[in-house]
A and B are shown apart, each in its own frame.
Chain A
């Protein structure tokens, strides 16, 4: 009768689940660290993994990282698992605020996260981070000093850089006749319903403030009120807010222009050369993503191993190959220049990954505004909810 067949189905599904779990855990199980002299590890795509140099002593078997979407070369992840035998668990987010909310709520088990510059002081203030032991990170000298010792974390007590980039205009020059050249141009009514914007409150409000001639990190309520009103005019013209994968809508033709960040622009441009990244006259948004270690990280030794390994020039150059962002790791750049000239020249010649000096000079960064944060948050909720 019905019950017997239901029972059979349930039994089959139960067995299936245990089989799958067994497969998954054995598949994901860390292969043993090489006993030395075994020859280099090779990933499934044929990439030969460099040896960790220096090799860090590790007792943990897992590492939990909470990171941005689409930001890691698969070979880099695989190599770390292969050479250290540590299982890497990765969860992703697409906005700093989302990451902060989950981490500060407590109860999470992450070891490393990747806040953008302006969130780092907030996390320090909230005592969510532990200080980094520089003696365990001998390769910190690999970084270009221009990206170190930043105002948001003097002396790099809590953070090390990962990748950097800009937010700027992105335009499908084939479908847009009047190509915009400044943030202010986006308010042009002919772009109504054709734009994609990042779902990033600080960047969007910041660029609005800049079009009004104000400081993008102002705490003056009157200026913010003006920005809110100006932004309220723009929002109905925006078709789509997307901080996950804005290039998708551009490539698909659902939108024709908007704002996006370095990595997305590069990929969109590759798929469709008509899609171009334009640095606005008022200056692009400059940002830098950093690694920080959470205070109650359960696998601190594995975290140091990861940071150390990925700082190596012969490992980090993979980011130049796979994701085009501005690269603060000099050792990686030199390695690529010497050993992978096509990859290096693609990076060096690209105005997207390598913004011209005048664009950088005009650019502005987002900074922590402390007590004024709720003002920005409220503006964001109000203008987005007001349709």
Chain B
């Protein structure tokens, strides 16, 4: 029998791939299927699932409501659509800001002395290897009313006041210009705080793929461009940027998808006020006890993510540099 195994290549392949495939089937495919089944069900008054088939959860997600203000039979309730679009725009904004910040740093490292590169890379990795939750907490400490940022701004303001105090004395009518009445900024528990938190969390995931693709660019290409008379800007536009696109694509996938589903950042930094799809799903399961609706929202989130990813990769390629190591 062992002999037959040695000769049958197809069987060997199956056996090798079997554990992984089985694992993923049981722990991924089946749960997704279960989620689908539950999403068609109905909610019992106590929060259990009544297995049936109905599209009411999806219809509700997209805004069809029978509970209308002016007594109409049906109307459009934008509540959930708003949540979905808010999540999309946050994911989009985060990705754009992350690209703008990650690219210069990746470029800096890729073009630095090879002996130093590892050190620069590790400096990027270390914040990543600290705990996800801890990083969010760190921003709480910076953003609160008496947090580090406000304290520093307060110092700057009092420094300004001290320096310009004589001027404020001489020109009392212009006192408003020479004296800053610093009121601590309300930074925490705002949508802005959530954006900053998301950018911080996912920045390293963009830096690494962009670095990998930039590093692969052969120096001779730059030399050739210079020989042909291109200045730095043109070189960047026509040589560097196109060749680094796979890295940007891979990084976008690594950032966009998690941002769509994260609930911790908006929970802690948004004061439970900023509701994203991740929060909606979490609440449906834990607080509102409607697993059918939560499952529907879960699947819609997944479908939206897949659609965006599909169109994006069709335009820009899949970016094999996902593997940043």
Decide if A374 is an interface residue (CB 8 Å cutoff): yes
Given contacts A239-B189, A253-B146, contact A381 B288 (CB under 8 A): yes
Decide if B309 is an interface residue (CB 8 Å cutoff): no
Are B286's CB and A101's CB within 8 A?
A: yes
Nearest residue (CB) in A for B83 is A385
Given contacts A98-B287, A201-B287, A374-B290, contact A386 B82 (CB under 8 A): yes
Are A377's CB and B289's CB within 8 A?
A: yes
Decide if A370 is an interface residue (CB 8 Å cutoff): yes
B contacts with A: majority SS: loop
Given contacts A252-B144, A382-B79, A384-B273, contact A101 B289 (CB under 8 A): yes
Tell me, rounded to whole Å, the shortest Cβ–Cβ distance linking A14 to chain B. Answer: 17
Decide if A137 is an interface residue (CB 8 Å cutoff): no
**Interface residue ranges of B3-54 to A (CB < 8 Å):** 43, 45-48
Are B145's CB and A253's CB within 8 A?
A: yes
- A-side contacts of B289, CB under 8 Å: 97, 100-101, 104, 373, 377
Decide if B198 is an interface residue (CB 8 Å cutoff): no
Are B188's CB and A387's CB within 8 A?
A: no
Are A97's CB and B272's CB within 8 A?
A: no
Decide if A160 is an interface residue (CB 8 Å cutoff): no
Tell me, rounded to whole Å, the shortest Cβ–Cβ distance linking B311 to chain A. Answer: 27
Tell me, rounded to whole Å, the shortest Cβ–Cβ distance linking A59 to chain B. Answer: 34
Decide if A240 is an interface residue (CB 8 Å cutoff): yes
- A-side contacts of B135, CB under 8 Å: none
Interface string of B262-285 (1 = CB under 8 A from A): 000000000111110000100111
Tell me, rounded to whole Å, the shortest Cβ–Cβ distance linking B182 to chain A. Answer: 15
Tell me, rounded to whole Å, the shortest Cβ–Cβ distance linking A382 to chain B. Answer: 6
Are B46's CB and A373's CB within 8 A?
A: yes
Are B46's CB and A385's CB within 8 A?
A: no
Decide if A306 is an interface residue (CB 8 Å cutoff): no
Are B286's CB and A97's CB within 8 A?
A: yes
Nearest residue (CB) in B for A229 is B69
Interface residues in B, total, Cβ within 8 A:
29
Instruction: Give the interface residue-count category, chain A.
Output: 20 to 34
Given contacts A98-B287, A101-B47, A377-B288, contact A252 B145 (CB under 8 A): yes
Are A100's CB and B186's CB within 8 A?
A: no
Tell me, rounded to whole Å, the shortest Cβ–Cβ distance linking B35 to chain A. Answer: 13
Tell me, rounded to whole Å, the shortest Cβ–Cβ distance linking B274 to chain A. Answer: 7
Are A239's CB and B271's CB within 8 A?
A: yes
- A-side contacts of B283, CB under 8 Å: 381
Tell me, rounded to whole Å, the shortest Cβ–Cβ distance linking B65 to chain A. Answer: 10
- B-side contacts of A78, CB under 8 Å: none
Decide if A168 is an interface residue (CB 8 Å cutoff): no
Decide if A45 is an interface residue (CB 8 Å cutoff): no
Are B144's CB and A385's CB within 8 A?
A: no
Tell me, rounded to whole Å, the shortest Cβ–Cβ distance linking B118 to chain A. Answer: 10
**Interface residue ranges of A332-381 to B (CB < 8 Å):** 370-371, 373-374, 377-378, 380-381
Tell me, rounded to whole Å, the shortest Cβ–Cβ distance linking A99 to chain B. Answer: 9
Report which of B273, B280, B287 forms a contact with A387, defined as CB distance below 8 A.
B273
Are A240's CB and B189's CB within 8 A?
A: yes
Report which of A95, A254, A370, A385 forms a contact with B275, defined as CB distance below 8 A.
A385
Nearest residue (CB) in A for B294 is A101
- B-side contacts of A95, CB under 8 Å: 286-287
Tell me, rounded to whole Å, the shortest Cβ–Cβ distance linking A206 to chain B. Answer: 16
Nearest residue (CB) in A for B45 is A371
- A-side contacts of B47, CB under 8 Å: 100-101, 104, 373
Are A104's CB and B48's CB within 8 A?
A: yes
Decide if B107 is an interface residue (CB 8 Å cutoff): no
Tell me, rounded to whole Å, the shortest Cβ–Cβ distance linking A233 to chain B. Answer: 15
Contacts from B to A (Cβ < 8 Å): 43, 45-48, 79-80, 82-83, 144-146, 186, 188-189, 271-275, 280, 283-290
Given contacts A97-B288, A242-B271, A373-B289, 4 further A-B contacts (CB under 8 A): A97-B286, A97-B289, A193-B186, A387-B273
* 26 interchain pairs, CB-CB under 8 A: A95-B286, A97-B288, A97-B289, A101-B47, A101-B285, A101-B286, A101-B289, A104-B46, A104-B47, A126-B46, A126-B48, A240-B272, A241-B272, A253-B146, A370-B45, A371-B45, A373-B45, A373-B289, A377-B287, A377-B290, A381-B283, A381-B284, A384-B275, A385-B79, A385-B275, A387-B275
4 nearest CB pairs, A to B? A240-B271, A241-B272, A377-B288, A371-B45
Contacts from A to B (Cβ < 8 Å): 95, 97-98, 100-102, 104, 122, 125-126, 193, 199, 201, 238-242, 252-254, 370-371, 373-374, 377-378, 380-382, 384-387
